[in-house]
Structure 1
Amino acid sequence: MTGLPWDASYHDGPAPWDIGRPQPAIERLASEGGFAGAVLDAGCGTGENALHLASLGLPVLGVDVAETALTIAREKAGDRRVQVEFAVADALRLDRLGRRFETVLDCGLFHTFDGDERSGYVTSLASVTEHGGTLYVLCFSDDGPDTGPHPVSREELRAAFDPADGWNVATIEPDRVRTRYHDDGAPAWLATIRRI
């Protein structure tokens, strides 16, 4: 996939999902010790989640297809003096990174893929997630009023991460995704998924 449509989202000011700070759900997970070892932030955008995790002393790689977002992320890292790595990568071909991670974060990426793309994306995630590692998915939920674009059901999440493919969906909890258009956030699922 080309990153151009995503890159254009950052040309005229912040993208709708770029709230200028980490998502509260990710901050909470981090404060509870949910992140360990090498961390991959897939679809990191301008890097707020990756920067937060790296500021806690974790080795973090943030990847995105949008070059403009990554340029902004690198500038933030320099300004804040945070050690973090950012790289251009296609989420459907994460195997090309040639690395594996103990914790993988997908904040707002899963729901952008349609049904046909999801299986390829999940295979891509499997290629970089250590066995015994944890994947967190924060995505728009279909549960409640004022849902975000491309909401996902619990059943769709469970179906995507099949035990036959080496995944165990530990929990899917209701949460919120903050956006520039949702003052208190849009309905979301926060899924904790183990690589078995």
Structure 2
Amino acid sequence: MTGLPWDASYQDGPAPWDVGGPQPAVVRLAAAGGFTGAVLDAGCGTGENALHVASLGLPVLGFDVAETALAIAAENAQGRNAEFTVADALGLHRLGRTFDTVLDCGLFHTFDADERPRYAASLSTVAKPGATLYVLCFSDAGPDTGPHPISRDDLREAFTSQTGWAVAAIEPDRVLTRFHGDSGAPAWLATITRGQACIEVSVR
């Protein structure tokens, strides 16, 4: 899909999900040693989460479809070991690289039900066996949910052995936006492990 609608979100000031720093959940994961090896930030936006992880000394690649956001991320990199590129989330095999840790902060909930398994399968093509994926997405456990809230079942139905994954945990959390006040919106933080299963869902 074209990135133009997403790019427009960054052209007249910060996007609704651009809070000027890393998400608290990502900071906690990083402090607990949750990120190891080469890291992929899926739907990185202006790169605050990617740059926080890179500040720990880890190599990070962030991808998005919004070129304006990626330009801001690259400008803010300031010599840290972070790269940013345009990529299609449903065709990540084209990156030609694999990663030990993958972060999805706010991308999964933008896909509809038919796209989610394709996206999960696409992620599996760039995740090493045993890699860890963290998904932070809007939760359906209100009140004051964000747009396109996701249920625990939505996560489990997308990240299956058929798409190359095993869900280890789905815990309630919060995700900051520019419109939900200091405490943010209800979220799920899912911890998911890359398995060895054959991928049966098309990633074309």
Structure 2 counterpart of 1:85, from 83, 86, 101 = 83
Which consecutive segments of 4 or more residues in structure 1 shift more than 2 A? 163-166
Please tell me the residue identity of whatever aligns with 2:64.
Answer: D
Q: Secondary structure at the match of 2:20?
A: coil
Question: What per-residue deviation string (whole Å, max 9, x for no partner) do you get for residues 153-175 of structure 1?
Answer: 00110111112433110000000
Question: Whole-Å Cα distance in 2 between the matches of residues 37 and 179 of structure 1?
Answer: 29
Structure 1 counterpart of 2:176, from 175, 178, 182 = 178
Please tell me the residue identity of whatever aligns with 1:77.
Answer: A
Please tell me the residue identity of whatever aligns with 1:46.
Answer: T
TM-score by length of 2: 0.93
- The aligned counterpart of 2:56 is 56
Q: Secondary structure at the match of 1:173?
A: strand
Structure 2 counterpart of 1:132, from 130, 133, 153 = 130
Question: What per-residue deviation string (whole Å, max 9, x for no partner) do you get for residues 3-33 of structure 1?
Answer: 1010000000000000000000000000000
Alpha-carbon contact 2:133-2:194 (below 8 Å) kept? yes
Question: Whole-Å Cα distance in 1 between the matches of residues 113 and 176 of structure 2?
Answer: 24
Structure 1 counterpart of 2:103, from 102, 105, 117 = 105
Question: What per-residue deviation string (whole Å, max 9, x for no partner) do you get for residues 36-64 of structure 1?
Answer: 00000010000000000001100000000
Question: Whole-Å Cα distance in 1 between the matches of residues 69 and 163 of structure 2?
Answer: 32
- The aligned counterpart of 1:18 is 18
Question: Whole-Å Cα distance in 2 between the matches of residues 90 and 185 of structure 1?
Answer: 28
Q: Secondary structure at the match of 2:91?
A: helix
Moved more, 47-56 or 159-168: 159-168
Please tell me whether residue 94 in structure 1 is matched to residue 95 in structure 2: no
Question: Whole-Å Cα distance in 2 between the matches of residues 96 and 169 of structure 1?
Answer: 25
Any gaps of 5 or more consecutive residues in structure 2?
196-204
Report the structure, 1 or 2, having the larger helix content. Answer: 1
Any gaps of 5 or more consecutive residues in structure 1?
none
* Residue correspondences, number: 194
Shift of 1:123: 1.1
Question: Whole-Å Cα distance in 2 between the matches of residues 164 and 116 of structure 1?
Answer: 15
Q: Secondary structure at the match of 1:115?
A: coil
Please tell me the residue identity of whatever aligns with 2:118.
Answer: G
Question: Whole-Å Cα distance in 2 between the matches of residues 165 and 65 of structure 1?
Answer: 23
Alpha-carbon contact 2:164-2:194 (below 8 Å) kept? yes
Same amino acid, percent of matched pairs = 74
Please tell me the residue identity of whatever aligns with 2:194.
Answer: R
